[in-house]
Amino acid sequence: MQEMYGIKYSKPEVVLLQDTGIGVAETAARTCYDSFSNSENDVIKNIENTLPNAAMCKTLNEIEDSNLLDDLAWTYFHHSILEHANLSYLIRGTSRGVLQEHARHRIQAISVRSTRYTMSSIINAFIASKHGGDKNFFIDKVLAFDMFVTSDVAYNRLEIGGMFDKLDFQSKRIEDFHSIAVAKSSLSFIKELQGKPQELYDALQAGKKKRNVGDAFKHIITDNVKVDMVVTFNLRSLKNYLTLRDSGAAYFQIRWLAQEMTKVTPQKYLDLIVKNK
């Protein structure tokens, strides 16, 4: 937990899912210079005279150090060979604001929790609040979802209250609001459980989810909402990312994320891309 600009925030969590090793990157560099025999790694020396078998490839991917890569990265700035190493991270609890910043890094693979498919609980809470509950019912229900990077309850209640107001405005303008908010098989619950907001909410939650419900309602959420994602960088792109984002000039939330990613990145990669790491 950390406070910035008078608001308390939670920090993201990061796990390194997989890394491909630096051996392939050295092999690529040795291919450029036809210098396999100069490697301190025996498996790479042997590539000069034989095609690697499965056992050799396993050993290749377990290489921890490479003098050549270090020279190319820090003396000759030949960074293209770093593109042959890839790392994938699972990120939980960063914000949609950070997601916008991430999108500016062109060379990455990124898969993000979808608002098209994951907003049913919010909409169900709103429907229940309008049929026997009230605005506070909605706020209390959504507050329990822990869906914001901000952790101040008073501030988050303001956020959720704004979501209610936007949904309420929209519901009064759309004649068939329920049909776009709730699956057809669950519409009967609204009449059957009128005046019983908790029972209505539970029934909607247990029923079939409306497909793509976020298409109509994603406008209600802000950059403060948490997102989960998996990102894969090649090592050259990761160098660019950490150089720019683990910097005092970076947006503070993406700086926190870059710092957490650095913590779980093996030292053999940091040695090639981050000074004094």
Nearest to 253 by CA among 221, 227, 235, 220: 227
User: Is the entire prediction scored with pTM above 0.85?
Assistant: yes
Q: What secondary structure does DSSP assign to 213-271, as a single string?
A: THHHHGGG--TTBEEEEEEEEEHHHHHHHHHHHSSTTS-HHHHHHHHHHHHHS-HHHHH
Q: Answer yes or no: is pLDDT of 107 > 90.
A: no
Residue 153's pLDDT band (boundaries 50, 70, 90)? very high
Average pLDDT over every residue of 163-190:
94
Every domain of the chain and the residues it spans: 1-19+86-115+221-277, 21-84, 120-220
Q: Answer yes or no: is pLDDT of 275 > 90.
A: no
> What residue spans of 112-206 are helical by DSSP H?
120-130, 135-143, 153-171, 177-181, 187-192, 197-206
Q: Answer yes or no: is pLDDT of 276 > 90.
A: no
Name the class of domain 1-19+86-115+221-277: alpha beta
**pLDDT tens digits, 8-54:** 999 999 999 999 999 999 999 999 989 999 999 999 999 988 999 99
Average pLDDT over every residue of 214-225:
93
Q: Hey, what amino acid is at 75?
A: T
